[in-house]
Amino acid sequence: MMSQPPDPTSYPPVADAYARPLKSLRLSVTDRCNLRCNYCMPEEEYGWLPRDTILSFEEITALTGLFTELGVDKVRLTGGEPLLRRDLHSLIRMLRRNPLIQELALTTNGLLLPEQAPALKEAGLDRITVSLDTLRPDRFKALTRRDGHEKVLEGIEATRSAGFTGLKLDTVAIRGFNDDELIDLIEYGKRVSAEVRFIEYMDVGGATGWSMAKVLSRDAMLEAVGRWYGGVEPLHEQSSAPAQRYRLADGTTIGIIASTTAPFCATCDRSRLTADGLWYLCLYGKEGIDLREPLRRGVSPLEMKSLIKIGWQRRRDRGAEERKALERLGLREEQLIEIRQLRLDPHLEMHARGG
Ligand code: SAM
Ligand code: SF4
Ligand code: SF4
């Protein structure tokens, strides 16, 4: 008799202390990156996670399997730059065998997509999000301290040629840097059949140069976009996705992720596993739960699952809301993590824990 795939509904998600389900898992597959975006990796030198601590594809797949049996059904590969992890397509193929994963996605800076897009598609990746902050090569270079803008645009084309649909372009909107490009980016998105999502600049991890003055708020974005297109209306969707979506008067849809001015912690079902197996329950979380150590010690799958379950059930994180509360007291900018501290614990960096 053929064995039936497990019924996803047979694994009701575990809920945290605020009844938020464990649903979405971001896997940071490497802490390394081929860019140095100044809102993420502003330093010249970085200490990398030791190689022998990096989880193998087998370990990532095994851990992800346990997470899916506790409710996770969306998995996103991120980093660092995930396409720097050698043979990433093999990991995708391994994860794809898990029928409980309803959506397998990737966030990338796009540089290596021209070579890798066909293999990613063939391995079974569902969707790609490319980070694209500017259409101007000179600005790209100033922001990332590297060349390669053309490659990113080529990468976007390559996803289309490889047959990916539902492409998203994520733009961190920064006042005084790319606030004059919102319309150009939306128009570019239309040309390449991609939905553009603007992310408010966040005071996370390595964003040591962050200040409230550089945050282009959702309200300011809507005002600028609405003025140009002659109207913008919110779409009413039932979703725990971080982006609020809007329809412009010409029918185009865009998303805005207002993590800084209008946090959505109340519905947050996301957690992150670093490349070396630390599990973070919040983007702003100071400490992760070490899953690598018990996994390598040979702890049984049942015990591992219990560790994950208890971890999630105790979760009370509302990092972005707490920052917002401090902002009202005028204390937000004092919360930025100092370089000294980032050097002591690289896991505090966004590029280590995955955006
Ligand atoms: N390297 C890949 C990339 O850039 O797409 C994946 C990892 S990156 C950490 C994931 C996302 O986090 C990117 O879209 C990036 O723009 C975003 N990000 C990093 N630092 C940020 C910050 N300070 N504020 C808002 N978004 C940030
Ligand atoms: Fe930029 Fe992504 Fe690299 Fe951070 S991890 S420096 S956002 S490309
Ligand atoms: Fe979720 Fe933490 Fe982000 Fe809030 S700050 S949405 S709890 S990851």
Ligand 2 centroid from CA 27, angstroms: 15
What is the residue-wise DSSP string for 301-349? HHHHHHHHHHHHHT----HHHHHHHHHHTT-GGGGSPPHHHHHH-GGGS
Q: Helix, strand, or coil here: 112?
A: coil
Gyration radius (Cα) of the chain, Å: 20
- Amino acid identity of residue 114, one-letter, is P
Where residue 339 falls among pLDDT bands split at 50, 70, 90?
confident
Q: Determine the Cα–Cα distance for residues 255 and 201; give it in Å rounded to an integer.
A: 15
CB environment 254-283: b (16+ within 10 A), e (fewer): bbbbbbbbbbbbeebbbbbbbbbbbbbbbb
Which amino acid residue places its CA nearest to atom 11 of ligand 1?
355
Token pair belonging to 3: 């064995």
- Amino acid identity of residue 151, one-letter, is K
Which amino acid residue places its CA nearest to atom 4 of ligand 3?
265
Q: Determine the Cα–Cα distance for residues 270 and 268; give it in Å rounded to an integer.
A: 6
State the DSSP code for 137: H
Which ligand has an atom closest to residue 18 CA? 3
Which amino acid residue places its CA nearest to atom 4 of ligand 2?
40
Where residue 336 falls among pLDDT bands split at 50, 70, 90?
confident
Ligand 2 centroid from CA 245, angstroms: 24
290-304: average pLDDT = 98
CB environment 151-165: b (16+ within 10 A), e (fewer): bbbbbbebbeebebe
Strands 278-280 and 270-273: antiparallel
| Span 298-308, pLDDT tens digits | 999 999 999 99
122-140: average pLDDT = 98
- The ligand 2 atom at the shortest distance from the C-alpha of residue 351 is 5
Q: Helix, strand, or coil here: 143?
A: helix
Q: Which residues line ligand 3 (CB under 6 A)?
A: 263-265, 268, 270, 282-284, 317-320
Which amino acid residue places its CA nearest to atom 6 of ligand 3?
265
Strands 244-248 and 253-257: antiparallel
What's the first-to-final CA gap in the chain, in angstroms? Answer: 43
215-241: average pLDDT = 94
Examine the pLDDT at 13 and tell me if it is beyond 50. Answer: yes
324-331 contacts: CB < 8 A, separation 24 or more? Answer: 324/260, 324/261, 324/263, 327/212
Ligand 1 centroid from CA 11, angstroms: 31
Token pair belonging to 223: 């005002």
Give the pTM: 0.95
The percent of residues in the chain predicted with pLDDT above 70, rounded, is: 97
Ligand 2 centroid from CA 198, angstroms: 16
341-346: average pLDDT = 76
Examine the pLDDT at 1 and tell me if it is beyond 70. Answer: no
Ligand 3 centroid from CA 281, angstroms: 8
Examine the pLDDT at 4 and tell me if it is beyond 70. Answer: no
Q: Determine the Cα–Cα distance for residues 266 and 204; give it in Å rounded to an integer.
A: 19
Side-chain half-sphere exposure of 251, counting CA atoms within 13 A:
2
Strands 244-248 and 232-234: antiparallel
| Span 97-118, pLDDT tens digits | 999 999 999 999 999 999 999 9
The percent of residues in the chain predicted with pLDDT above 90, rounded, is: 82
- Rama region for 167: left / alpha / beta (φ>0; ψ in -120 to 50; rest): beta
- The per-residue pLDDT of the chain, averaged, comes to 93
Which residue, among 127, 134, 121, has the nearest Cα to 35 in the 3D structure?
134
Q: Determine the Cα–Cα distance for residues 24 and 353; give it in Å rounded to an integer.
A: 14
Q: Determine the Cα–Cα distance for residues 86 and 108; give it in Å rounded to an integer.
A: 14
Examine the pLDDT at 2 and tell me if it is beyond 50. Answer: no
Where residue 6 falls among pLDDT bands split at 50, 70, 90?
low
| Span 30-62, pLDDT tens digits | 999 999 999 999 888 888 999 999 999 999 999
Cβ atoms of residues 167 and 105 within 8 Å: no
